[in-house]
Amino acid sequence: MPTADDKLHALVLRFYEATTEPGEWRNILQETAELLRADGAALFSNPTGPGLGMHYSERLDDLIDWAFRQGPELHNPRPQRALQRARPGQAITESDLFSEWELNHLPFNAGMIETAGLRWDAGGYVGDVYGQPIFLTVQRERSKERFGADELA
């Protein structure tokens, strides 16, 4: 029976496959979420820049639709905070980026909770493509436990 490390290694190989088969991102990100006992996963750069764009698992459809409907005035502070507070490859959580008040009241954070039911987030800055930072994140619903130190490691 494959171990968690075996499953993670196989998943990393699938990430490499998706660079040549972009249609696979949605499935790979769903597998990522499942392996990490999360509900959704996203891989993204600045959606208007020359980088990777945005790929996400099916569970994040409502959140992404809501964010795009809000338009450019909706600011997602998560990527900028991650760049400021974590080194490349370091996994962090929403609580490393924001105070409890900010998680409940900043428009993007509140929207994640109210619109999509997603409260807990883990991930970080994984590197650059075409000079744009790339982020990988996984999310859990508000009714579930937050990501722990073992999961971040």
Encoded tokens for 129: 């493509």
| Amino acid letter, residue 94 | E
Q: Could you report the average pLDDT of every consecutive run of 10 residues in the chain (153 residues)?
A: 85 88 92 95 79 88 92 88 90 95 95 94 90 92 94 87
pLDDT at site 103 = 94
Q: Are 59 and 65 in contact (CB under 8 A)?
A: no
Q: How far apart are CA 123 and CA 117, in angstroms?
A: 18
* E strands present in 6-112: 40-44, 54-56, 92-93
Instruction: Tell me the pTM.
Output: 0.88
pLDDT at site 48 = 62
CA distances for 125 relative to 1, 12, 35, 82, 133, angstroms: 32, 16, 19, 7, 7
Q: Which residues contact 151 (CB under 8 A, 6 or more apart)?
A: 36, 37, 122
pLDDT at site 42 = 96
